[in-house]
């Protein structure tokens, strides 16, 4: 039975974790601010306006909905404070090394004019297949954006509903669940009779993404991060202070309190460390929270000068993400839910998943507190900022590919990308209630990322070589990475990722492939989702083929002209003979 308050071990876990993460984040930013280096850039390509803007943009890429919804649910359900043992092991041996790999690969590619992973892989591995493996780095983030933008639009909608009080009056989780399902188009009810409001907010969300991306790197993405990220942290701090002052809202049920919620989160249950699934879940959380295996960090890093730092930049962005997730994210939703619903009901909410917590339970709480509309607007506004700083990063690799490899001007590249994005998002909305989004999320947003990460670390550490990679990583470095990471990069991180992929394949991918447990009526829609995933991948492969054939023609124009002249000559001679 979970304790009613933090135990000694719980306090030690809490204080030590907050101190280490907070201290390292401050130290990293202090080093960055004291440095006179800028982000640099490559001649003829876009560049970041400032180093702080770069770090905030990459941090915004990593900080998403999962920091505030997924992480606290995983902690509370998998051993509380003890969950941080496998979590930080994965952070140290998987997250940080792979992040440095992506920064290094990205900067190397950018110095040669490549802003996406097809070109980067072709530099690391001189093999015709390498660029096609790199195509995953543009297909996967775009595929995630197809369904992520729809979820992101929910946060914008609910921020508006909070400000206007539209969902006020739905004072139970069941009522809020019906409100959410009506909005999503899953059912028609008294709150929503059509999915058109959801379509409207989706189009508005896509329009905002389009506007920032069309403005470019420094004037669009960086401006969004420079203003959005401080606002996000300010909203989070205000909400954390409000949650911590909830105390025991119902005097007749003093056991329902924020203190008990913090105890459930932070009191370690070390017996759970014997369970392999806890270690797997922790590794998965680190993998997703840092936005690894998607090609987005590579693209952002490609706009950094070849003699500018990436080791300190990478560590700073990772620690900023951890500050948002472990300190702020974990202190918001779960403690508030325990205070208002009690531990047993919160455990049921956590089993229902992150969306039950964020979109059903917390709106009920906002209706019971002073200035609830304002706090609800802050909460969903925070989630929207976290979402949009991630979604622009998902779309940027495709735009960078069109710019760098096909020489399409940025505004046209953005317009073309969004035309395809709107077309691909349409079935996600139309068939949401049949599990279309969940199917895409698994194959692109889970399995695909793990597969690409295995390919990425394999190409970097075993084909390009750790020795060359280490030298490239430390070019212009402000932080000397401990030499033990050479061993980690060569052996530990690859084995960690391979094990993760194998276990996911055995436990999840095979049952998912066989559609076990699915309703017969939903099966066609799951297959349709898979076809869309394959179409996105096929499109990326086709773009890569077109780009490299175009490059070959430009690289050997005289050969092409000679071949054409020879063909014409042969045709002329044949005509003379026929005559």
Confidence of residue 354 (pLDDT cuts 50, 70, 90): confident
Confidence of residue 509 (pLDDT cuts 50, 70, 90): very high
Cα 471 from Cα 464, distance rounded (Å): 12
CA distances from 284 to 54, 369, 388 (A): 26, 35, 22
- For residue 513, give both structure tokens: 């492939």
Listed in sequence order, the residues at least 6 apart from 402 whose beta carbon sits closer than 8 Å to its beta carbon are: 408, 413, 416, 417, 543
Q: Write down the mean pLDDT value for the chain.
A: 93
Contact 387, 152 (CB under 8 A): yes
Q: State the CATH architecture for 8-578.
A: Orthogonal Bundle (1.10)
Angle between the 311-322 and 96-111 helix axes, to the nearest 10 degrees? 130
A 10 A CB-CB count for 382 gives 25
Provide the residue ranges of all domains of the chain, joining segments of one domain with +: 8-578
Is the model's pLDDT at 155 over the cut of 60? Answer: yes
Listed in sequence order, the residues at least 6 apart from 170 whose beta carbon sits closer than 8 Å to its beta carbon are: 176, 178, 179, 191, 363, 364, 367
Confidence of residue 44 (pLDDT cuts 50, 70, 90): confident
* pLDDT given for residue 350 in this prediction: 84
Is the model's pLDDT at 332 over the cut of 90? Answer: yes
- For residue 524, give both structure tokens: 């066609």
* pLDDT given for residue 475 in this prediction: 96
pLDDT tens digit string along 4-28? 789 999 999 999 999 999 999 999 9
Is the model's pLDDT at 579 over the cut of 50? Answer: no
A 10 A CB-CB count for 564 gives 10
Which residue, chain included where needed, has tokens 């204080």?
Answer: 15
Among the listed ranges 164-168, 234-238, 459-463, 503-507, which one has the minimum average pLDDT value?
503-507
Q: For the whole prediction, is pTM greater than 0.85? A: yes
- For residue 306, give both structure tokens: 């070849």
pLDDT tens digit string along 125-136? 999 999 999 999
In the chain, % of residues over pLDDT 70: 96
More confident: 1 or 512: 512
CA distances from 11 to 6, 18, 67, 391, 472 (A): 6, 10, 22, 36, 42
Region 345-355 average pLDDT: 85
Listed in sequence order, the residues at least 6 apart from 483 whose beta carbon sits closer than 8 Å to its beta carbon are: none
Confidence of residue 244 (pLDDT cuts 50, 70, 90): very high
pLDDT tens digit string along 266-306? 999 999 999 988 999 999 999 999 999 999 999 999 999 99
Is the model's pLDDT at 562 over the cut of 80? Answer: no
Cα 106 from Cα 76, distance rounded (Å): 36
Confidence of residue 41 (pLDDT cuts 50, 70, 90): confident
* pLDDT given for residue 559 in this prediction: 54
Tally helices (H) and strands (E) across the chain: 30, 0
Cα 395 from Cα 34, distance rounded (Å): 32
- For residue 548, give both structure tokens: 């490299």
Is the model's pLDDT at 570 over the cut of 80? Answer: no
Q: How many residues does the chain have?
A: 579
Cα 453 from Cα 292, distance rounded (Å): 7
* pLDDT given for residue 38 in this prediction: 82
Region 374-396 average pLDDT: 98
Dihedral sign computed on CA atoms, order 454, 355, 435, 210: negative
Which residue, chain included where needed, has tokens 């996000």?
Answer: 232
- For residue 243, give both structure tokens: 């949650």
Is the model's pLDDT at 539 over the cut of 60? Answer: yes
* pLDDT given for residue 555 in this prediction: 79
Question: Torsion angle of alpha carbons 104, 107, 110, 114, nearest 10°?
Answer: 20
Question: Torsion angle of alpha carbons 17, 21, 26, 28, nearest 10°?
Answer: 150
Listed in sequence order, the residues at least 6 apart from 302 whose beta carbon sits closer than 8 Å to its beta carbon are: 45, 106, 107, 109, 110, 114, 115, 116, 120, 400
Region 404-427 average pLDDT: 98
Confidence of residue 309 (pLDDT cuts 50, 70, 90): very high
Confidence of residue 109 (pLDDT cuts 50, 70, 90): very high
- For residue 536, give both structure tokens: 């996105």
């Amino acid at each position: 039975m979970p304790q009613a308050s933090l135990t000694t071990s719980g306090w030690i876990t809490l204080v030590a974790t907050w101190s280490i993460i907070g201290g390292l984040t401050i130290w990293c930013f202090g080093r960055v601010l004291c440095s006179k280096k800028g982000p640099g850039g490559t001649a003829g390509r876009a560049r970041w306006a400032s180093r702080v803007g770069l770090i905030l943009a990459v941090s915004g890429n990593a900080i998403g909905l999962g920091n505030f919804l997924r992480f606290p649910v995983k902690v509370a359900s998998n051993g509380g404070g003890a969950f941080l043992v496998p979590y930080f092991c994965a952070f140290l041996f998987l997250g940080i090394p792979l992040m440095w790999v992506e920064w290094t690969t990205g900067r190397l590619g950018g110095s040669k004019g490549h802003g996406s992973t097809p070109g980067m892989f072709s530099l690391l591995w001189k093999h015709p297949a390498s660029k096609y493996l790199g195509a995953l780095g543009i297909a996967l983030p775009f595929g995630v954006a197809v369904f992520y933008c729809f979820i992101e639009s929910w946060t914008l909608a609910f921020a508006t509903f909070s400000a206007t009080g539209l969902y006020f009056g739905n004072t139970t989780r069941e009522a809020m669940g019906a409100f959410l399902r009506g909005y999503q188009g899953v059912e028609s009810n008294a709150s929503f009779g059509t999915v058109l409001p959801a379509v409207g907010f989706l189009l508005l969300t896509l329009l905002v993404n389009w506007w920032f991306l069309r403005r470019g790197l420094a004037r669009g993405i960086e401006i969004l991060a420079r203003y959005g990220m401080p606002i996000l942290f300010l909203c989070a701090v205000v909400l954390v202070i409000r949650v911590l002052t909830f105390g025991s809202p119902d005097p007749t049920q003093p056991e329902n309190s924020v203190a008990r919620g913090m105890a459930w989160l932070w009191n370690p249950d070390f017996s759970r460390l014997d369970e392999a699934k806890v270690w797997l879940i922790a590794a998965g959380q680190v993998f997703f929270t840092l936005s690894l295996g998607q090609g987005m960090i590579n693209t952002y890093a490609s706009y950094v000068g070849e003699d500018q730092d990436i080791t300190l930049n990478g560590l700073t962005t990772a620690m900023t993400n951890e500050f948002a997730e472990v300190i702020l994210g974990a202190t918001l939703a779960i403690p508030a839910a325990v205070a208002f619903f009690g531990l047993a009901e919160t455990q049921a909410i956590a089993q229902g998943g992150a969306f039950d917590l964020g979109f059903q339970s917390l709106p009920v709480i906002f209706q019971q507190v002073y200035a609830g509309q304002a706090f609800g607007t802050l909460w969903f506004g925070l989630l929207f900022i976290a979402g949009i700083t991630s979604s622009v990063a998902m779309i940027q690799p495709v735009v960078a590919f069109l710019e760098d490899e096909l020489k399409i001007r940025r505004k046209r590249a953005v317009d073309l990308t969004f035309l395809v994005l709107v077309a691909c998002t349409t079935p996600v909305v139309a068939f949401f209630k049949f599990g279309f989004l969940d199917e895409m999320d698994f194959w692109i947003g889970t399995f695909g990322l793990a597969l690409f990460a295995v390919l990425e670390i394999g190409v970097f550490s075993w084909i390009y070589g750790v020795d060359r990679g280490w030298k490239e990583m430390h070019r212009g470095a402000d932080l000397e990475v401990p030499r033990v990471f050479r061993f980690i990069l060569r052996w530990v991180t690859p084995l960690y990722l391979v094990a993760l992929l194998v276990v996911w394949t055995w436990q999840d991918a095979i049952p998912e492939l066989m559609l076990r447990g699915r309703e017969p009526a939903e099966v066609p829609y799951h297959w349709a989702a898979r076809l869309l995933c394959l179409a996105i991948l096929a499109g990326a492969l086709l773009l890569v083929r077109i780009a490299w054939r175009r490059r070959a023609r430009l690289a050997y124009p005289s050969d092409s002209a000679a071949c054409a002249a020879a063909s014409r000559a042969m045709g002329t001679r044949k005509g003379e003979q026929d005559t």
